[in-house]
Structure 1
């Protein structure tokens, strides 16, 4: 396992703004995509979008609860969570904080949901649930306590990795779905994937949705969107990102952003990076072509 400190700054002692990321140990890599840790204190209150991605999300807070203003499923009311697990989804969650937050986030593959949590990712499709309801109050309380008392970020990530390693049950995973998922998110046609696993197209689609919470077309769509939005930056033209990730044109990418994120790429950049110049990437601002 390794970790990388992305940013850490603070002029006054009361201001803390840290973000780290890491990879799991070898045994966990079929099930865990990545780790990230964050700690902020004394920063301005913020609103963050939890966007659709090809990973389920587990968040373990270190102090204050996670405040979810709205969930991907509008039938879920706003909530506060010491620990949360979110399934795959097609609309954003809205998370807020008042200038203070700290926690660790685990990005899980769909096969990791079975191997580590003991249930198919399809049962969590579009939902955010209290982690204690799935893992038990005691297990969640114990890992949060160990994380909170760890001396530094490398220690926290190591504690998290050890805890997850103890939970692995590879027999719970479904090899055909794991293979299909890995191929679908790389935009391999459904017909070819069905042949590879020995199923009909219809059977693959039915099983795939039940196991992951998305159908193959939705999974490929979310994976492409995730790759595109991760390559966005205030210093890269949106049209260039659209072309690099197979969108017909800039307008196509903007439509996908509106559908999956509820905003345009420029609006997302401005919020995510708190960088107003992101709105000035284009010579003439027009949200229909932004």
Structure 2
């Protein structure tokens, strides 16, 4: 996915930059689904409450939430204004823009201002965005902050990134196939991916497959077609039952339940990702 009009320098790292609206607070928490990208959620006002679904006591209240790669659903809610700005970053984007390897954020949610090497232009984003009066202003403020982060961390991040590794995993169904494409052993691939991104190659492929299914479910719902069996086949699942099992494990609900409560017609949320 590309972001229209964004600086070419940010294109390898920023996959989404959008406004969001979680809908009325009475609608309950928004379910943040697993994804092959990291996300940054910046409420327009106040704080965002985030907890891992099914894990009592895991909740945190943050001014700007950074979620690493995760294989379980999160729950997001805002008490007052439910709008804000939402970004997703490719895994290399964590090091290039925030100065923190994606492996340090995997399975975690942190406050943007608390990241060890974050630049002031990014740490102060919530306050700068609160002063904006239009989406154009908010977008410009975010882009300036990201470019400042890239100027500080980009060269160092580029040296440690294994180019093509994630692309090979995304294009293949099995880790062995990706290793063969890359000309390395499975062990070397596993050590590289876990060390840089905090997940195993197999887990990353699960995230890619799940994300593909979510996108096709949304497209099918917008077209008025259920098509779960077709979505399962097109996304690399063995069958519809396999798709449903994986959704229960990773989203905490079935695809049909998610579409009913979080789908395109339910609320204007940030595409189901945390």
Q: TM-score, normalised by structure 2?
A: 0.83
Shift of residue 240 of structure 1?
Answer: 2.0
Shift of residue 44 of structure 1?
Answer: 3.6
Runs of 4+ in 1 over 6 A off after TM superposition: none
Higher radius of gyration, 1 or 2: 1
Of 192-201 and 235-244, the range deviating more from structure 2: 192-201
Which among 88, 100, 105 is matched to residue 69 of structure 2? 88
Shift of residue 123 of structure 1?
Answer: 1.0
Which structure is higher in helix share? 2
Q: Is 2:202 the partner of 1:206?
A: no
Match of 1:236 in 2: 225
Higher relative contact order (CA 8 A, sep 6+): 2
CA distance in 2, matches of 1:197, 1:100: 47
Q: Which digits, 9 at most, give the CA deviation of each residue in 1:101-148, with x for residues without a partner?
A: 121111011111111111211111100011111156954563222222
RMSD over aligned CA atoms reads 2.7
Which among 154, 162, 169 is matched to residue 144 of structure 2? 162
CA distance in 2, matches of 1:191, 1:145: 47
User: Aligned ranges for residues 71-86 of structure 1 at < 5 Å?
Assistant: 71=52, 74=55, 77-86=58-67
Q: Which digits, 9 at most, give the CA deviation of each residue in 1:221-259, with x for residues without a partner?
A: 111111111221432221221122122211111011001
Contact 1:239–1:249, Cα closer than 8 Å, also in 2: yes
Contact 1:52–1:261, Cα closer than 8 Å, also in 2: yes
Q: TM-score, normalised by structure 1?
A: 0.79
SS of the residue 2:29 aligns to: strand
* 42 and 92 in structure 1: CA distance in 2 versus 1, 3 angstrom threshold: closer
Of 29-38 and 188-197, the range deviating more from structure 2: 188-197
Q: Unpaired segments of 5 or more residues in structure 2?
A: 267-274
Which among 252, 271, 290 is matched to residue 261 of structure 2? 271
Shift of residue 40 of structure 1?
Answer: 6.0
Shift of residue 192 of structure 1?
Answer: 4.7
Shift of residue 97 of structure 1?
Answer: 3.3
Contact 1:72–1:126, Cα closer than 8 Å, also in 2: no
Which among 203, 213, 217 is matched to residue 202 of structure 2? 217
CA distance in 1, matches of 2:56, 2:181: 38
Q: Which digits, 9 at most, give the CA deviation of each residue in 1:188-231, with x for residues without a partner?
A: 64345435545322011012112111111111111111111122
Contact 1:115–1:173, Cα closer than 8 Å, also in 2: yes
Contact 2:47–2:62, Cα closer than 8 Å, also in 1: yes
Which among 235, 254, 257 is matched to residue 247 of structure 2? 257
Match of 1:49 in 2: 31
Q: Is 2:122 the partner of 1:132?
A: no
Contact 1:45–1:97, Cα closer than 8 Å, also in 2: no
Q: Unpaired segments of 5 or more residues in structure 1?
A: 4-21, 277-290
Contact 2:168–2:181, Cα closer than 8 Å, also in 1: no
